[in-house]
Amino acid sequence: MKGKIKKISGPLVLVEGLVDARMYDVVKVGELGSMGEVIRIKKDTVYVQVYESTLGLKPGEPVVDTGMPLVAELGPGLLIAIYDGIQRPLSEFTSDSDFVLRGMSVLSLDRNQKWTFKPEVSKGDLVKPGSILGSVKELGLVHKIMVPKGVSGQVGKIKQKDYHVHDKLTTVDKTKVSLIQRWPVRLPRPVNERLPYEEKLKTGLRAIDSLFPISKGGSAAMSGGFGVGKTVVLQSIAKFSDFDIVVMLGAERGETRWQTYCLASQS
């Protein structure tokens, strides 16, 4: 379905003609196809938040509704990549420009690399959503390959082998299962139960470990004004804490602010 730009206000684009648009649909905006997301629908006008620069956009340019929500690709290869805000791996951009060109579309996970899959179930086993089918190692860490949501039944033929992320590992009730899963970012991952906190996360900073301890699997917030040292503390935690993975998320608001998420080792 195609509409056209009615008005532009910063990153917000008003679109007319998208009569069948739904909330949170991903749309391609303008001649370059910049990625956007439907955030409001009012009568015949669709409000689109564009996740790339709107510089140069003009009223009348086309807007195409993909009919799909914004999704993240999850699977092996995720830990070794650096992404922009819409999960485009920066290593895939070969342009001479210092910036990511608008409208560029690349796959989030490498389709050429192979991963060794070790099954933990056998043909004919009964499984349900969240059941572990097997595992793949990346950077010494283990990815648990699980049955997707809404799928249950008997496992088909399955064996240890090197696979691309999009190759068929097996079938569950005739549904193909691969190493990759595409998950809508606005849909929470299902949780069976919340495990109790049993172990302290050692950050390596005495003030935090003694006065404000953090549990493994828990969360903590740190607030403060500009220049008081939040980033330095986060960098110190990332350097000295007993973790397996550090995920750095950057947000642009006039300056670059960093958040650090430490996924603590459970070993």
Q: In this structure, are 90 and 182 located in the same domain?
A: yes
What per-residue confidence (pLDDT) applies to 96?
Answer: 66
Q: In this structure, are 77 and 64 located in the same domain?
A: no
Q: For Cα atoms 226, 232, 236, give the angle at the middle one, nearest 5 degrees.
A: 155
Alpha-carbon distance 182 to 71, whole Å? 6
Residue 260: count other Cβ atoms within 10 Å of its Cβ: 19
Predicted TM-score (pTM) of the model is 0.77
Q: In this structure, are 8 and 79 located in the same domain?
A: no
Q: Which domain holds residue 243?
A: 200-264
What per-residue confidence (pLDDT) applies to 251?
Answer: 60
CB 60 within 8 A of CB 21: no
Q: In this structure, are 64 and 93 located in the same domain?
A: no
What per-residue confidence (pLDDT) applies to 259?
Answer: 45
What per-residue confidence (pLDDT) applies to 94?
Answer: 64
Q: In this structure, are 156 and 84 located in the same domain?
A: yes
Q: In this structure, are 228 and 156 located in the same domain?
A: no
Q: Give the pLDDT confidence of 123-132 residue by residue, as tens digits.
A: 999 999 999 9
Among 69, 86, 101, the domain boundary falls at: 69
Q: In this structure, are 183 and 244 located in the same domain?
A: no
Mean pLDDT by 10 residues, the chain (267 residues): 92 93 94 93 93 91 94 90 84 69 85 94 93 92 91 94 95 93 87 84 88 86 85 85 76 45 42
What per-residue confidence (pLDDT) applies to 47?
Answer: 96
Q: In this structure, are 80 and 182 located in the same domain?
A: yes
Domain count within the chain: 3
Q: Phi and psi dihedrals of 190, rounded to 5?
A: -70, 140
Among 45, 69, 93, the domain boundary falls at: 69
Residue 215: count other Cβ atoms within 10 Å of its Cβ: 14
Q: What is the 3-state secondary structure (H, E, C) of the chain?
A: CEEEEEEEECCEEEEECCCCCCCCEEEEECCCCEEEEEEEEECCEEEEEECCCCCCCCCCCEEEEEEEECEEEECCCCCCCCECCCCCEHHHCCCCCCCCCCCCCCCCCCCCCCEEEEECCCCCCEECCCCEEEEEEECCEEEEEECCCCCCEEECCCCCEEECCCCCCEEECCEEECCCEEEECCCCCCCCCCCCCCCEECCCCHHHHHHCCEECCCCCCCCCCCCCCHHHHHHHHHHHCCEEEEEEEEEECCCEEEEEEEEECCC
Alpha-carbon distance 15 to 10, whole Å? 14
Q: In this structure, are 133 and 177 located in the same domain?
A: yes
CB 51 within 8 A of CB 13: no
